[in-house]
Structure 1
Amino acid sequence: MQLPLGTGTVDVSLPDCEVRTVERPGGETVDPAAAARAALDSPHGPSLASRVDPGDDVTVVVTDVTRATPDDVLVEAMLDRLPDCEVSILVGLGLHRPMTDAELRAGLGEYADLAVNHDPEATVEVGTVDGLNGEAVPVRVHPLVAEADCLLSTGMVEPHQYAGFSGGAKTAAIGAGDGSLIGYTHGPEVLSHPNVRLGRIEDNPFREVVDRAGDAIGLDFCLNVTKGPNGFLGASAGRPRAVVADLAETARAALSVPLSDTFDAVIGGVGAPKDANLYQTTRAPTYLVLGDHNPVRPGGRVVVPARLPEGVGEGTGERRFYERLRTATSADALYEAMRAGYDPGAQRAFVVARTLREADVYVTNSERPEVVEECLLHAADRVEDAVDPGCDVLVVPDALNTLLVSA
């Protein structure tokens, strides 16, 4: 069998194991440019053109290199509907590293010259939103967001560990925000809530706080896409909540796999762009173990092939994640320590600790095995080296875009 590795694949053979590979329902694929135009023709709420006056300052917040969003296509579709106005593009990094000039050109094409990377240290406060227990959570965003006459965003509605599905207000509210909102929504109180889980947007407090933050910053309109096993499945435009609900329904139908069995080893594929660093790669084991159905037997393991050319990652969040894992003595000790709180960005270490209390995690085929070993995980040269002979094995070729649901 072949599994994703970077922009290519790796061959894996487990002749001494009983292997089952999940197959998602999939769905009919669409051309993202045509789907984007069709979505703009039938938006949720008022049309894009009706929201913008000639001469307005318009800011479009786009996704960063960690999302496989066709931002150039989505930006072009929106700009074609705008009157003559001043347009800025802000890359919604959150606490991730800035995109390089080459990455901006690859992601935005002719619109790269309009783009600037978000700086979470240079934000202005626009108000507060109610948190989980009614507490006031500050909302601070980049000046290009705070001062825009019209705020737009792109996004990818895909399974997300905390938001249920990403996209909607998250691109702008989190991507263009600072540590205050990120720290609150990614803190232990929110992430420990039973409704904060992969694939769930209904009654999800993470999603609700982010959506309220989108209201506070004046996110007027978004254009998002979703994708399945073979390509893009659709686009939706207009009011952010409706856009996410629309595309989440499409994604669930394409990505859900009913399952009742458990296995000795679960192999999860990641591939580019998520396997560029360990921070993003660990989404695979956490998505698998902490989702609706945990397929790993007690004492079992998750195995993930990943290149890791950036090592642990280069952003503020990635470094905080690394320090927490690198200095931990055990998963149990790390989990208990982090329940008291942690800096924004370190939340991935918290959910990794939760995962490691349920299963071991092996990362194979990487360029940085020493970083893997520093972070309470196991490194192996090949997938075959991480799976014992005679194991029952489940293979999830696209772990980040598969929803294992209880049968």
Structure 2
Amino acid sequence: MDFKIPYGRAGLEFALPDAQVLATLTSKANQFEPDKGQQDLVDQALANPIDSPGLSELAKGKDNVVIICSDHTRPVPSKFMIPPMLEQIRKGNSDANIKLLIATGFHRPSTEAEMIEKFGEEVVKNEKLIMHRSTNDEDMVDYGTLPSGGKLILNHHAVEADLLIAEGFIEPHFFAGYSGGRKSVLPGVASKETVLANHCGEFIAHPNARTGIIEGNPMHKDMVYAAEKAGLAFILNVAINEDKEIINAFAGDFKAAHKQGTDFVAELAGVEAVPADIAITTNGGYPLDQNIYQAVKGMTAAEATCKDGGVIIIAAECSDGHGGEAFYNTFLEAESIKEIRDEIASRDRTETVPDQWESQILARILDRFEVIMITAAPKKMVEDMYMHKAESMDEAIKMAESLLANDKPEITVIPDGVGVIVQK
């Protein structure tokens, strides 16, 4: 069987013996054929908002308008989304002061080149872009307490807006259930302290903090509360296929529009697990596979279909390396995976450290499986994090066979690990 899977910008091609491949788990989003083009889908959503007045109507009399925008780590097709949002706002109030607040969450700031690639040169040149930095206390406003007990501290540009709106995309998310909607606020424009409280070890370990689950998810509850307190009035979220093309769009009330979006994505993304000795996965290619930190998401899809003691192979370019100093150092400095898991489990909600959530999930995976990365990240870095590095799929398969002591292991392939909800 011949495969081409997402990897960086170019993709990765390889072949596997037919007899060993049990299944290929793919989202139906890749076969979904929308009845309109990308721009028309966005325009249609804006023209037919869900449980909300239109954006131009909301903008009337609102002088200070803030659009929360996704950052460089998200494949949101903002070039199709931001211009019509700006047009609608200015139709309602031609004098509105509009700011694009880049929701970096806990990520590094985006570069100008990344912003131009994402929004287009015209938007970057002519609009006011503000980079959220979660560690800049002077940019924050204390808004009380989250349902979980953590402090709710948000970027002042967001909470001081007369009209706060957000763009984003909806995909399965490995602990928030789905991306999009309320996540633009928390973690998007929240302080470091608030992100740490929400991403605590207790919540990450919760059985409902998993891909495709919102009901009973404690992280989601905090996120919705934060969005309400911030006054998030309107969202434009899209669903995309493996080519990062818009296949549907949802605009309006942040809860109602997000719900319609997650229902749509759930229908397409749900796949049944097919347990195998080896699970091959990806993190969806660029920009989602820029670092090891992000690549943990793709590993969770394989986690749901790999047999205990099996091998996960993930193809993730990771041109930016590990993606988080604290994340990397957690593994570099630990004597064992058990030490990492025990240390995180011992911490109270108020004692969460940066990148702990990613460390916790990767340690959970490594406790049950061997992980081989096909990656551009340095070999030492990968091995410091208790994983193996391979230069090609052929090498990865041979390595997996050696680890399993089995020269004909059964294989399940997940071409896009962040695009599916693997159901056991």
Q: Would the TM-score normalized by the shorter structure come out above 0.5?
A: yes
Match of 1:38 in 2: 44
The 5 Å alignment of 1:95-244 reads: 95-109=106-120, 110-113=122-125, 114-122=128-136, 123-132=139-148, 135=149, 137-229=150-242, 231-244=245-258
Q: Does 1:398 align with 2:413?
A: no
Q: CA deviation at 1:216?
A: 0.9
**CA RMSD, 1 decimal:** 1.7
CA–CA distance in 2 between the matches of 1:348 and 1:81?
38
**Per-residue deviation at 1:220?**
1.2
Alignment of 1:312-327 (within 5 A): 312-313=322-323, 318-327=324-333
Q: Secondary structure at the match of 1:299?
A: strand
Q: In structure 1, list runs of 5 or more residues that go unmatched.
A: none
Question: Is the CA contact 1:325–1:375 (under 8 Å) kept in the aligned structure 2?
Answer: yes
Deviations 1:218-260 (A, max 9, x none): 111111101234532211111111122111111111111123x
Aligned to 1:287: 301
Contact 1:305 1:366 in 2 (8 A): no
Question: Which of these residues, 9, 14, 17, is aligned with residue 16 of structure 2?
Answer: 14
Q: Distance between the aligned counterparts of 1:24 and 1:121, measured in 2? A: 37
SS of structure 1 residue aligned to 2:310? strand
Q: Which residue of 2 aligns with 1:48?
A: 55
Q: Per the alignment, in what secondary structure is the counterpart of residue 348 of structure 1?
A: helix
Q: 1:25 is matched with which residue: 24, 28, 42?
A: 28
How far apart, in 1, do the equivalents of 2:134 and 2:308 lie? 40
Where 2:319 maps in the other structure, the secondary structure is: coil
Out of 58, 77, 82, which is 2:84 matched to? 77
Distance 2:252 2:135 in 1: 30
Contact preservation (8 Å) 1:305, 1:365: yes
Aligned residue in 1 for 2:346: 340
Output the amino acid matched with 1:395: V
**Offset of 1:50 from its aligned partner?**
2.5
Contact in 2 for aligned 1:65/1:103 (Cα 8 Å): yes
Counterpart Cα distance in 2 of 1:116 and 1:7: 27
1:376 pairs with 2:383: no
Q: TM-score, normalised on structure 2?
A: 0.89
SS at 1:399 equivalent = coil
Conserved in 2, the CA contact under 8 Å of 1:124 and 1:146?
Answer: no
Task: Provide TM-score, normalisation by structure 1.
Answer: 0.92
Select which of 86, 99, 104 maps to 1:93: 104
CA contact (8 A) 1:300 1:359 kept: yes
In structure 1, the residue matched to 2:404 is none
Runs of 5+ unmatched residues, structure 2: 402-406
User: What is the percent sequence identity of the aligned residues?
Assistant: 26
What secondary structure sits across from 1:180 in the alignment? helix
Check the 8 A contact 1:152/1:220 in 2, yes or no.
yes
SS for the counterpart of 1:220 is strand
Q: Which runs of 4+ in 1 moved over 4 A?
A: none
Judging changes above 3 Å, is the alpha-carbon distance between structure 1 residues 89 and 299 closer, same or farther for their aligned structure 2 residues? same
Q: 1:340 to 1:32 in 2, by over 3 A?
A: farther
- Alpha-carbon shift at residue 73 of structure 1 (Å): 1.9
Provide, for residues 136-167 of structure 1, a one-character-per-residue CA deviation record: whole Å limited to 9, x for no partner. Answer: x3222222112211111111111101110010
Answer yes or no: is the 8 Å Cα contact 2:172–2:418 preserved in 1: yes
Equivalent pairs counted in the alignment come to 394
Cα deviation, residue 367, structure 1: 4.1
Q: Determine the C-alpha separation between the residues in 1 that align with 2:189 and 2:152.
A: 10
